Amino acid sequence: MSTRRVYLHIGAPKTGTTYLQDRLSRNVKALGAHGVTVPTRSPAVSPGLFHFRAALDLLGQDWGGDPGHAEGSWDAMVRRVRRSSGSVIISHEILAPAPAEAVARAKRELGGGEDVHVVYSARDLARQLPAAWQESIKQGRKWTYRQFLKKVRRRQPWFYRSFDLPSVLGTWSAGLPPENVHVVTVPQRGTATPDELWHRFCAAFEIDPAWAPEESGRRNPSLGAAETVLLRRLNKGLGRQTRREITYDVLVRDLLAEQELAGRAGAAPLGLPPKMYDWVADEAERWIEYVEGSGVDVLGDVADLRPVRPSPEEVEAWVDPDKIASRDQLDVAVEALVAMTREAARREDPDQQLVNRVRTQARRLRDQ
């Protein structure tokens, strides 16, 4: 009889994954006391990073890092899972659009006759698509909103392949009983308590929310339309290699996007173009038809997958990020420049660091 149950949370992106993964990481010991393992490679490597590298290795990708930097991580994950008993939770959203070969390997190597469950979190496209374009810009992409949405309607970008519920679950559910496939819906705004999504995840993993008492300190804050456009223009000015370096993550994504520009007062929200609501509504019905016909386990309400159409006032107020006024962009650019200048002033000049080290060593030699 099986003594291990493996839960693979495969995404989708922008469905509370940052919060979930951080909360799991913060509560590894507490969950372990209840027989729940969140695997990690060593105390020096966070579970989130380990799961990311394992997913990269499974998919044969480097995701902008040095070639081969994730090599061996998937095998390490498999070893840790096989040494565990009770419940095991693995989570990373880049797994959602994995090809059938990688999916079959994951289930085979993590299962081995054990109980494997797939958990997929889904959100309506009216909220999902603006968030996805913004996230792609934070990751260094240069495309306009119009270009991104055009590709989405052709089902081309990686993000959309991650969101397309029937396609994702059609691959991941192969060979699994429907009760082992769990769809967690993200509640619509204003329809649930702040911890409802967390409780839905816990129900999918069959854990008590109280087993992970420490709250997550991480959020993935949203940018306004002008703020996102500024980052896109910055990406255009930076070379491809620069956008792949760690300094881009530290200065642009972390400092500018997530600390300085996110939640900026008076920022115009980034929303779906009103003319796209019919299309996303049709997509939602296709998703719901798949879920209801497949017999998979649903945590939440499939109605959450339907877009909430904007009011006439909201349609009138919608801002096209591809047509942001130069003055609005200038205001954001000044704030970004101020933030970068402060950061430069905070950091010690590398040349001065060398001078200081030489002076220190000279004093030591004189004092001998």
Q: Which two tokens stand for residue 263?
A: 């939640």
Q: Outline where 173-276 has alpha helix (H).
A: 196-205, 225-237, 240-244, 246-247
Q: Identify whether the C-beta of residue 188 lies closer than 8 Å to the C-beta of residue 124.
A: yes
pLDDT, average across residues 328-345: 87
Does any domain span residue 79?
Answer: yes
Q: What is the pLDDT of residue 64?
A: 65
Domain count, the chain: 1
In this model, does residue 280 exceed pLDDT 70? Answer: yes
- When pLDDT is cut at 50, 70 and 90, the band that residue 357 belongs to is low
- Which domain covers residue 102, as residue numbers? 4-125+161-220+276-309
The rounded distance, in Å, linking the Cα atoms of 56 and 62 is 6
Among 227-231, 317-321, 342-346, the range scoring the smallest mean pLDDT is: 342-346
DSSP reduced 3-state for 299: strand
* Percent of residues, the chain, with pLDDT higher than 70: 90
The rounded distance, in Å, linking the Cα atoms of 7 and 243 is 34
Q: Which residue has the higher pLDDT, 123 or 356?
A: 123
Angle in degrees, 0-180, between the axes of helices 100-111 and 165-172, rounded to the nearest 10: 50
pLDDT, average across residues 276-289: 98
Does any domain span residue 253?
Answer: no
Write out pLDDT tens, residues 228-270. 999 999 999 987 766 677 778 888 888 888 888 888 888 899 9
pLDDT, average across residues 76-91: 96
Does any domain span residue 20?
Answer: yes
Does any domain span residue 199?
Answer: yes
Residue 364 exposure: Cα atoms within 13 Å on the Cβ side: 6
Q: Identify whether the C-beta of residue 185 lies closer than 8 Å to the C-beta of residue 305.
A: yes
CATH at residue 17: 3.40.50
Does any domain span residue 173?
Answer: yes
DSSP H or E run through 165: helix 165-172
Does any domain span residue 260?
Answer: no
Q: What is the pLDDT of residue 1?
A: 44
Does any domain span residue 251?
Answer: no
Q: Identify whether the C-beta of residue 121 lies closer than 8 Å to the C-beta of residue 201.
A: yes
Ordered DSSP codes for 128-144: HHHHHHHHHHHTT----
Q: Outline where 238-349 has alpha helix (H).
A: 240-244, 246-247, 277-294, 312-317, 326-346
Among 8-17, 69-78, 100-109, 250-259, the range scoring the smallest mean pLDDT is: 250-259
Does any domain span residue 102?
Answer: yes
